Amino acid sequence: MGNRGINMTLKHISDGNSVFTFCRDLRYETIEQDFQACKNSMDPRAIMMFQHHNPFHAGGNLQMAEIHLHRGEFKIAADLIERAVYTYECGYHPKFNPLAENRRLHNQRNEDDEFFRALRRHIQCLARRGCVRAALETCKYALSLQPEADPLCLLSYIGFYAIRAKQYAWLTKFVNLFNKYPIPARYFPNLRFATALALLQMNRSTRKPPDKDDTPDKKRNGGADKATEALEAAVYLFPTVVHSLVTAVDAKILKQDTRWKFLQKANGSSGSAFVDKIAKIFAARSAVLWRGQEELDWLRTTASRVLSWGTWLFNTHTHHIHTHKECIHAKARGGEA
């Protein structure tokens, strides 16, 4: 790939990881100054003319993509975003292996931040096209560049793409093992509920008709039990998420269906700004996954049983969340991707 004016350099090696960063060459830096002048003019025509004369300027393509997104011209926007990502890919360092685990991207330069923003928009465009598996793989790649910081807040929505892509086994393994971020993945409310749903879907895909000789206990045990246990744990840890999720699915349910009255005790704030923020993002994005009658019935019966235990506040596991309040609140302010 040819040089487009943005190059990746090896900054240092830390803890066995090669840390890279992007930087602009002199010619690109001069063009960047022209772009900033057009951007500060607040004139879309100036940006359009700049992008026309500099078709591989990453910032110009991203800015024009935003204009087309606001117009609803998603295909044009997606092409511009892909071009911006390509500009950065052309500058990859020879020692930078996108598939390796021991490489990181330093996120303290404007170029690095711009690359992450391009990846986030690229993920959104892929999902809008229905390419959810590609969106998930791009999420994995972006998260691997800075798993300790997660600058794109990927942990708030990677579970959604995993379920849409039917990568149930990967999701359950990821939630149990990913602990590079200050807060392990298993302490994220959205990922706890996503894991339960993934286990339920896995059970459906492997479900077999019961044998006549099976005992009732044998018929009940299996994948469904694991899914229900996971949902019980999620509700026990984060009961207020259930109310947000059901409201997002259909706000009329709580008013018209008396079977959901028990949720009144789980309404309100969780006491954690992080949990409340993630719950809103999770509910708005994942409501479509829980709209099925079987999923709603499962959620209702499980949540009702857990809340009837009488002790539904966070258990000692959430100590990890409050221990890292400042870090979490900073991530929560990043908002929805």
In a domain, 315, yes or no: yes
Report the side by side order of strands in the sheet with 103-105: 6-14, 17-24, 103-105
| Count of structural domains within the chain | 2
Q: Work out the number of other CB atoms within 10 angstroms of the CB of residue 113.
A: 13
224 Cβ contact partners less than 8 Å away, ≥ 6 residues apart: 200, 203
Q: For residues 82 and 167, state if they share a domain.
A: no
- Residue 210 pLDDT: 53
Which residues lie below 8 Å from residue 123, measured CB to CB, with a gap of 6+?
135, 138, 139, 142, 161, 337
Cα separation, 20 vs 104, in Å, equals 6
* Confidence (pLDDT) at 39: 94
Tokens of residue 217, six digits:
């206990």
Residue 201 lies in a domain: yes
Q: In the chain, which residues have pLDDT < 70?
A: 1-3, 207-223, 310-337
**DSSP codes joined into one string, 187-201:** G-HHHHHHHHHHHHH
Provide the percentage of residues in the chain whose pLDDT is more than 90: 71
Domain stop point among 92, 117, 148: 148
Task: State the residue range of the domain holding 240.
Answer: 156-332
User: How far apart are the C-alpha atoms of 70 and 256, rounded to whole Å?
Assistant: 37
Under 8 Å between Cβ of 132 and 165: yes
Task: Write the DSSP symbol of residue 259.
Answer: G
Q: H or E stretch including 243?
A: helix 239-249
Q: Are residues 308 and 161 in the same domain?
A: yes
pLDDT, position 213 = 53
Backbone phi, psi, residue 23, to 5°: -150, 155
pLDDT of residue 78: 97
Structure tokens at 131: 């390419």
The confidence score (pLDDT) of residue 271 equals 77
In a domain, 337, yes or no: no
pLDDT digits (tens, 9 = 90+) for 247-270: 999 988 888 888 988 887 777 777
Q: Mark which of 129, 148, 167 sits at the end of a domain.
A: 148
Per-residue pLDDT of 70-114, as tens digits, reads 999 999 999 999 999 999 999 999 999 999 989 999 988 999 999
